Chains A and B, each alone.
Chain A
Amino acid sequence: MRTVTQASASLTARGISKNFSGVRALDGVDIDLPAGRVTALMGENGAGKSTLLKILSGDHLPDAGEIEIGGETVSFQTPFDARSAGLRVIAQEPEIVPHVSVAENIYLGALPSGRLGRVSQRAIEEQARQDLERFGFGHLLDPARLGVELSPAQRQIVEIVRCLIDEPQVICFDEPTSSLSDHETDVLFELIARLRDEGRAVGYVSHRMHEIFRIADTVTVLRDGRLIGSREVTDTTEGEIVKMMVGRDLTSMYDRDRREPGAPALELEDVTTDDVTGVSLTVHHGEVVALAGLVGAGRTELALAIAGDRPVRSGVIKVEGTPRQFGSPREAIAAGIALAPEERKADALVMVRTVRDNIALAVLGSLSRFGFVKARREKDLADRYIEQLHIRTPSAAQLVQNLSGGNQQKVVLARWLARDAGILILDEPTRGVDVGAKAEIYQIIDELASRGVAVLVISSELPEVLGLADRVVVMQNGRVTGELHHTEATEERILTLAIADHLSDEGATS
């Protein structure tokens, strides 16, 4: 194992350019990550942030440009080179080995072994426990769990710990909080502050403005692969940063006119599944209901049960007033329920297929005649959503795996918006999406509601919940702990219901 070195190396990169077969991802970008400071990297979806970090981590070779660490020019041919130079990047989409334990995942490639190279399961689990404890995640993750059993948040924690164990001097985080709940985010921020105080250089990518003001010292903005500028956090404003990112002013993103809701579209009465217990809730036509709660409260599992992908053990689900039992997502979709799942890579996207195929996937039936897909209508549909959601792609024929994270998320949304369903369930719809596109998505949700669609939004971002919802249903530990009308919903009240110890249904009801 490496010994702890006194960290004091800064990173400078000059004139970094990168092309992907005709797509200019980075164009002569200069960036500084000074030691002992947190530098936030911001920009719209597809601006080139992840590409820049992948170049720093040796995942991609730059077409041009130089990188210096602590004054010495370095050149990374592989991620291993970057690692030995003391640089680690915590990936946006962590790779976790499914069938081995958390401990083995953490020490991947550097398994501590005893005499004769024997790896003792007990010993590495113990060491993993200590390392998790050391970084403040001890209570959040059991080192003996298998990779497959981990939630997105836990996968992210594994990735973070994995990168920190060899004491890198320069550490970059690519949207680490997009799958973390508030509590885990707090733990992470404490950790980042500690890393900074130890004199390490920290790079931080996020679309969440309030995080930037909380954790960063400097903000560097990219747009269309170019460096726009850097600002000290102490003498800039949210408005200025947004303007640098999108090139124009953006005003109040949240808030919609609430209307009188129509008839009930989706009613759950005392629904129990393997993960949730006795859930009752109603979504009316023309209404946006937010499902709030901590990560792991059972919201995703509830959504999957409504969409026919998990068995309902007891209770009734009514669609348009009629009790229904769905044996498969196929039946739920036919009944007018659309679910845009939370995990885009695992559950939603066919990465090796094109943007067009992915958008059209759930509506192929209506685009075909006699089983033949009408290529023209399919392309028109895709182009329409590419424009409406500002999906940044050279064409509809681009493979989804070549899109940036936020743009992939928009493809997932496009597929389910195209379904034109009467009941739309969106699980974390704006995860990884930039501010401009978020505003766009809120507008679309509002328009759908005004046309009478019943919308159920699962979101862990409280400002989003408060801005969008007519009503907020709060869950904790697989149960509904309360329901708040938008006039009475505040961050504090939602949080209280989400973390309250007592599981009473009295809470606050409208």
Chain B
Amino acid sequence: MTATPVAPTVEGAPPRERGWRRILRAIGVQNLSLVAAIAVLVLVIGSQNSAFYLTSNLKTIGMAVTISGLLAVVQTVVIIMGGIDLSVGSVAGLASVASAMLFTSFGSGVSLIGALAIGAVCGVISGSVVVFGRVTPMIATLAGLIGYKGIAQLVSDGRAQGYTGADPLYVFLARGSVLGIPTLIWILALVAAALHVMLRYTRMGRNIYAVGGNDTAARLSGIDINRYILGVFALAGTVAALAGVLITARTGSGQPVSGSEGLEFQSITAAALGGVALRGGKGSIGGTILAVILLGILLNGMSLLGVNPFWQNIAQGTLLVSAVIIQQLRNGERRVGLPK
């Protein structure tokens, strides 16, 4: 006695195509519309400038989105858990400086591990402020955004640090490739795949969705929510630090601010565009990755077509707002009061 079979309609209402609706739902209408948007964009840009289709340009796009993409996928995890991490850009900056300075004194291995560890510590600090200090993630990580940036500027005296441009490991990270695909793209693909598997197929992932969807229910179901909050913020710090190391690798030196400023908002933009609900419990890595690709192509296309770079921000803002409006209208959200 579950669903009633679809009876022939009595009057008015047209019968719905149940089959294809269901398939659409499985892929996610959200993701399909992102794919469609990407396709349209590719066709439009490609018809204006065929250099867009060159393999070298595709690699350029991939490499350009790696750093913001890493932050976007880990931001996705944080937001699904019901949090938000505004400090990821600053942590990346701090890790970039730290990696360059550690490199100068101890070499590439130590610098890589040291930078990641610093990122993890930053994440644990944010998480502890949230859990033990009872500060909302927005405020706790806003403090992190300011504070970690300050630390990066303080230790570097506000200047670019070190020179990693000759080190084989850093060169490999920045310009190497495996099986013809740039290392940078590999890194983003691996991190995204790992997070996707974690969210989708593991107990940990399920519990992250539950904490974000209803934390009281999660607690009463025996989930140690504090551990999840600390763990997810630590993860966000670590991945942000990885992005910071890649900034060092690409520019050849540690950048306290210039390579990372504003990345936190880009990561939130991509997550929201990818269908992650800011109130938690909803979203996927796949959607975010599609959004990252869409944004990457948009920016690349605009520079290929010689559009004034100031238009880029306007385009991103417009895209975000229209995507979310479309989502909400599709959900049949009532136009009353503050939206949910």
Contact = CB atoms under 8 A, between A and B. Distances in A.
Contact of A361 (B13, B18, B202, B206): B206
A382 to B, nearest CB: 12
Contacts of B16: 19, 21-22
A484 to B, nearest CB: 30
B339 to A, nearest CB: 14
Interface in A59-81: 59, 63-65, 78-80
Nearest to B209: A353
Contacts of A392: 1-3
Contacts of A170: none
A15 interface: yes
Given A329-B222, A350-B213, A368-B203, A17 B13 contact: yes
A19 B13 contact: yes
Contact of B25 (A21, A63, A65, A339): A21
Contacts of B6: 22, 24
Nearest to A25: B4
B60 interface: no
Given A21-B16, A27-B7, A361 B203 contact: no
Interface stretch (A200-208, A236-244, A340-348): A340-348
Q: Size range of the interface on B?
A: 35 or more
Nearest to B6: A24
Interface string B267-284: 000000000010001100
Contacts of A348: 214, 217, 220
B206 A364 contact: yes
Q: Size range of the interface on A?
A: 35 or more
Contact of B202 (A21, A353, A371, A386): A371
B22 interface: yes
Contacts of A307: 220
Interface string B1-24: 111101101111100101001100
A17 B12 contact: yes
A100 B224 CA distance: 31
B223 interface: yes
A267 interface: no
A495 interface: no
A347 B213 CA distance: 11
B210 interface: yes
Contact of B13 (A64, A79, A360, A373): A64
B9 A17 contact: yes
B314 interface: no
B207 interface: yes
B288 to A, nearest CB: 17
Nearest to A307: B220
Interface string A357-380: 100111011001001110100000
Nearest to A373: B203
Contacts of A393: 2-3
A371 B3 contact: no
A330 interface: yes
A309 interface: yes
Contacts of B12: 15, 17, 63-65
B210 A63 contact: no
B219 A328 contact: yes
Interface string B222-264: 1110000000000000000000000000000000000000000
B24 to A, nearest CB: 10
A350 B277 contact: no
B72 to A, nearest CB: 21
B218 interface: yes
A373 B11 CA distance: 45
Given A328-B219, A352-B281, 14 more contacts: A17-B13, A19-B13, A21-B21, A28-B11, A64-B12, A79-B334, A329-B221, A349-B214, A350-B218, A351-B213, A361-B217, A361-B221, A361-B223, A372-B203
Interface of A: 15, 17, 19, 21-24, 27-28, 59, 63-65, 78-80, 224-225, 307, 309, 328-330, 333-334, 339, 341, 346-353, 357, 360-362, 364-365, 368, 371-373, 375, 386, 390-395, 415
Sort A-B residue pairs by CB-CB distance and give the 4 closest, nearest first: A64-B12, A350-B213, A63-B13, A333-B222
25 contacts: A17-B12, A24-B4, A64-B12, A78-B335, A80-B336, A224-B4, A329-B222, A330-B224, A347-B216, A348-B214, A348-B217, A350-B209, A350-B210, A350-B214, A352-B281, A357-B210, A360-B206, A368-B202, A368-B203, A371-B202, A371-B203, A372-B203, A391-B2, A394-B3, A415-B221
